Homo-oligomer: A and B are copies of this chain.
């Protein structure tokens, strides 16, 4: 085989990046794969739109069938985004025995099992490295590099927008709202940032990673999701005083056949390698039974990093085609899912509250913690400027989620507590 033809579904930022790389690096790609790669068709919304890249106009089409039903096309690259149409096109392409590469995390998180099963049934490849962590080869590392290990836990900073916002809030005393507006102006946050700031985007990526790491068919509904909209500057300030930083962290843990997946603002010790992941960068920290702790760090998004991941999948598919081994690498989850109950989820916690500054107040608070079987590791109390009240920030020793949330409820009912302002889990040893 000395020639493959590719069709692109979508010609936005990532699509443009892919076309750039395929055009600029033609010779290098030929050298690496033994094959010349030709772009046959690109699906666009408007053929006549003026574009950054000059391309033969006959290459563009507004009809997806020109790609998914085109007998000349071997490989379909889906970079259009969205769910329903992308799903439909990919399924049809696979049924037509075309190999598929997608950068679509939303689609893989929602319909990954169906798409992978269809690929397997048709002996086709389906690769999706670009769907998690942009330029970081994390999916490849999980499926190949760490293949010999048993993965116990994955913790990841997998959303660039929220990491950018929390980094800025940590660098300067600015509010969430101010940084969000700045991030939107700079293009680091979307006009409607809901999916990012509410933790949904990160949750989808954790679903994809969990599926790969544990071979379990998890859904988005299995993920506990909490976004960053309620994180206040005071939470960050007190975290720092206690030796921590706040990040939006996804955790997927598998223990005794029970899985637990969550995305939540989380305190990390400042010495933790994930704590130095700043701004729009992403990182995934993996605990393997044999390998110990490994981390993969890089740009979480962006035209070229994402396009590079797509092209790197393309190289793999072209090699597989040459070797006649397409469809051999589909990885279908083969274990049953059982989720961990709240009373089995162990964690340390950070809690910030306002108490009335009168004799015996703190004794009542500490008595309650003792009663609930939760011991305290670190504590700061500072007077509030408005007087009469004090602000208290606590790091607990390990407890379980159920017990901690009960305690928060009971604290709110104490007459000496004016307000429980916030609480977050704490990850990593200090």
Task: Kindly provide the distance from the CB of A153 to the nearest chain B CB, expressed in whole angstroms.
Answer: 14
Copies assembled: 2
Given A141-B141, A305-B292, do A323 and B328 touch, yes or no (CB 8 Å)? Answer: yes
Residues of the B chain whose Cβ atoms lie less than 8 Å from the Cβ of A296: 294-297
Residues of the B chain whose Cβ atoms lie less than 8 Å from the Cβ of A314: 148
Q: How far is the CA of A281 from the CA of B294 in the complex (A)?
A: 9
A287-300 CB mask vs B (1 if < 8 Å, else 0) is: 01011111111110
Given A146-B312, A323-B323, do A302 and B292 touch, yes or no (CB 8 Å)? Answer: yes
A32 near B273 (CB under 8 angstroms)? no
> Please, how many residues of chain A have a CB less than 8 angstroms from a CB on the other chain?
54
Within 8 Å of chain B (Cβ to Cβ): is A25? yes
Within 8 Å of chain B (Cβ to Cβ): is A359? no
Within 8 Å of chain B (Cβ to Cβ): is A136? yes
B297 near A297 (CB under 8 angstroms)? yes
Residues of the B chain whose Cβ atoms lie less than 8 Å from the Cβ of A277: 273
Q: How far is the CA of A137 from the CA of B295 in the complex (A)?
A: 10
Residues of the B chain whose Cβ atoms lie less than 8 Å from the Cβ of A148: 21, 25, 29, 308-309, 311-312, 314-315
Q: How far is the CA of A227 from the CA of B47 in the complex (A)?
A: 60
- Closest residue of chain B to A215 (Cβ to Cβ) is B31
Task: Kindly provide the distance from the CB of A101 to the nearest chain B CB, expressed in whole angstroms.
Answer: 12
- A residues 194-208 in Cβ contact with B at 8 Å: none
Task: Kindly provide the distance from the CB of A168 to the nearest chain B CB, expressed in whole angstroms.
Answer: 14
Residues of the B chain whose Cβ atoms lie less than 8 Å from the Cβ of A146: 137, 308, 312
A307-343 CB mask vs B (1 if < 8 Å, else 0) is: 1110110111001000101001000000000000000
Within 8 Å of chain B (Cβ to Cβ): is A275? yes
Across the interface, A141 reaches (CB within 8 A) one of B145, B272, B311, namely B145
Given A141-B137, A148-B21, A316-B144, do A297 and B276 touch, yes or no (CB 8 Å)? Answer: no
A145 near B137 (CB under 8 angstroms)? yes
Residues of the B chain whose Cβ atoms lie less than 8 Å from the Cβ of A325: 323, 325
Within 8 Å of chain B (Cβ to Cβ): is A232? no
B290 near A294 (CB under 8 angstroms)? no
Within 8 Å of chain B (Cβ to Cβ): is A271? yes
- A residues 140-155 in Cβ contact with B at 8 Å: 140-141, 144-150
Task: Kindly provide the distance from the CB of A84 to the nearest chain B CB, expressed in whole angstroms.
Answer: 30
A28, A136, A298: residue with the most chain B Cβ atoms closer than 10 Å = A298
Q: How far is the CA of A129 from the CA of B295 in the complex (A)?
A: 16
Within 8 Å of chain B (Cβ to Cβ): is A353? no
Task: Kindly provide the distance from the CB of A258 to the nearest chain B CB, expressed in whole angstroms.
Answer: 19
Within 8 Å of chain B (Cβ to Cβ): is A7? no
- Can you spell out 19 A-B residue pairs with CB atoms less than 8 angstroms apart? A25-B148, A29-B148, A135-B291, A137-B141, A137-B145, A140-B140, A141-B141, A144-B144, A148-B312, A273-B276, A283-B295, A290-B305, A290-B307, A291-B298, A293-B297, A293-B298, A297-B297, A323-B323, A323-B328
| Supplied contacts A323-B325, A323-B328, 4 more A-B pairs, CB within 8 Å | A148-B308, A291-B305, A291-B308, A292-B302
